[in-house]
Structure 1
């Protein structure tokens, strides 16, 4: 099996390591089956070609694609530029791609759709995702129920479906929870790798990043522990199984 390329965007080492471990565990991957690049602290290797991998997985992060350039840190700007530099080849050649949270913003922005904070942001919470007609037939959702809960927490969102994209999942607060371009290029607004323990770690790390009032952190952790979020990880496993 060719290796999967995992691109990570989180500057906080603990959050990045926890996310990476979740990708491996939930995707059924061994460390030797992936090429991990932490874009917060390393550049893409010169000449890197996404077509040389079984697929590309992009994790989440605190940056926003829609922030004005003068509001982005140098690290955030570099991460965004690196991700966007791969999207022409990925979408042109239908390279297997799974963008998680930040990844849907990157994909939609590349495809010319509006990504902004105007509508559809979601506080740290779990929401019920529902399949669309196209989602009912999509192989990455094989084995999942028509409705399932997933963990979310994002300031910006896709405002309209990119031209030519398939709409696979929606929720009440956010219409575009999962989309597909071509046959192999996917992105989710929710975090398919996240479970209660993982989200608890992120709540603790990002409590002062503007996602929620810091005084709410303990209540949010209790919410995560009480949530029944088990199905989204099947999407990761289906992605690895289909393209590995």
Structure 2
């Protein structure tokens, strides 16, 4: 489905990002993923997948720095080529009640979760246009950007912004056969969920019609669908992966 394609995944060293890297690499794509601080995890993932004969490469990147983003992308363009698939997955959360939230808490989340997507997507989509290259851009949003969440005004604002960004850019790039879609995961089994006390987990699952927390692979499966020709007539939409939470 995506054999021979080039995929760029931001924030790919852990959580949903690492599952996406594994999925795309297993399907035959050359995968370049970025990480910010956890070099050990990034290198371990790269080595493990290369041992399985996957074509995977990692690159350290501060996605909030326009200069670093452009320099890293030039390396990717020259060494691997222009990506066919871009997965904007990198993100952080700095949860705090809004009245207690500092400007640093606000801007760190906005700069990572929204502005970083602007820097990378602008460059990659422009390269796609210049080279008449069909492509798929996938933005990782969240159900928090759809329904809001206590203590996450910064995170919810950024993720909601991604949904509007997705719809707008899809209208601009569709004529060039570049598709732009978003994914909004709900409660997914990641390090963040793992830190939640068991009592609260049960309460969470009680609000989910499927009565369980989703797996990272279930999100990665949707990324594969949107990255491949299986979704060739899908653009400007958001696929919600939440077990029915927002239904």
TM-score (norm 1): 0.45
Pick the structure with more strand per residue: 1
Between structure 1 and structure 2, the one with the greater Rg is 2
Q: Which has the higher contact order (CA 8 A, sep 6+)?
A: 1
* Higher relative helix content: 2
TM-score, scaled relative to structure 2: 0.45
